[in-house]
A and B are shown apart, each in its own frame.
Chain A
Amino acid sequence: MIRAAGLWVVLFALWLLLSGHYQPLFLTFGVATCTLAVGVAYRMGTLDDESAPFHLAWRAVAYVPWLVWDILRCNVQVARTILSPKLRIDPAIVHFRASQRTDLGKFVYANSITLTPGTVTTGIVGDDFEVHALSKGLADGSEENEMNRRVTALEGEAS
């Protein structure tokens, strides 16, 4: 129920932000639409931890800046690789072991790997991540281990 209320609040905030109209008529439409959307999500049974991950919200505040910094760092590295005249690439498939317990945690980890340039998750079997890297130096394990640790911390104890 808390999850439904949270989803409703987020949806309505989005409505207010994007519509830019604050007359009573439009507000009524907004309330009706958000209620309908939450009702449909409830009936479909999709209103769970994965569709409304509010329990991650406050820990994500610490994770997102680190991720953005990491993306920036890897971007500079990949840009250097592309601009070098001889194009020194060494593409490889590497495997990582993820320590997240929930599917949501694995999802966040896989997307973080893909979002960082130079590494793309191509497959997940259980805890085993198959990652394609532009050069082996970009996926030597140290950075991915750091990311793995942080995503596991993001996942937290409760789940």
Chain B
Amino acid sequence: MGTALQLLSWALILAGAFFTLVGALGILRLPDVFTRMHAAGMTDTMGAGLILGGLCFQGDGITAVRLLLILVFLWFTCPVSTHALARAALQGGLRPLTGTAAQRDVAAQTPASRQDP
């Protein structure tokens, strides 16, 4: 395999690792479940996408096709489960924080959402 392709592969994997970490940081930092969904979506789309895309260059053809299959499956199911989660949270009585109230909550480090139903 060419060195350029090898470099591209590593760049993709490292970028994917970066986005995965940032997504995880977002899950910890953001104030309520609705905003955390966006951070989780980041891990699901770009984190998984870039890492699996980078791994594609490391194996033979069949391996690459299988990796792409996993990726396609992840990208089909992630929005569905995110949407189900949002609907369930709304149904369960949670209301998203809006506007600058969310920022104040972050600054004061107060628990932003209700306790377990």
Contacts and interface: CB of A to CB of B under 8 A. Distances in A.
> Do A and B touch directly, given a CB cutoff of 8 Å in the complex?
yes
Interface of A: 17-18, 20, 68, 71-72, 75, 78-79, 82-83, 86-93, 110-112, 114-123, 132, 134
A71 B45 CA distance: 8
Contacts of A134: 35, 38
Interface of B: 19, 22-23, 25-26, 29-32, 34-35, 37-39, 41-42, 45-46, 49, 62, 65-66, 69, 75-76, 78-80, 82-83, 86-87, 90, 96-100, 102-103, 106
B69 A122 contact: no
User: Chain A: interface secondary structure?
Assistant: mixed
A91 B98 contact: yes
A92 B102 CA distance: 10
B97 A91 contact: yes
Given A110-B83, A122-B87, 11 more contacts: A18-B69, A75-B46, A79-B22, A82-B42, A89-B106, A91-B96, A92-B99, A114-B41, A114-B82, A117-B38, A121-B86
B90 A122 contact: yes
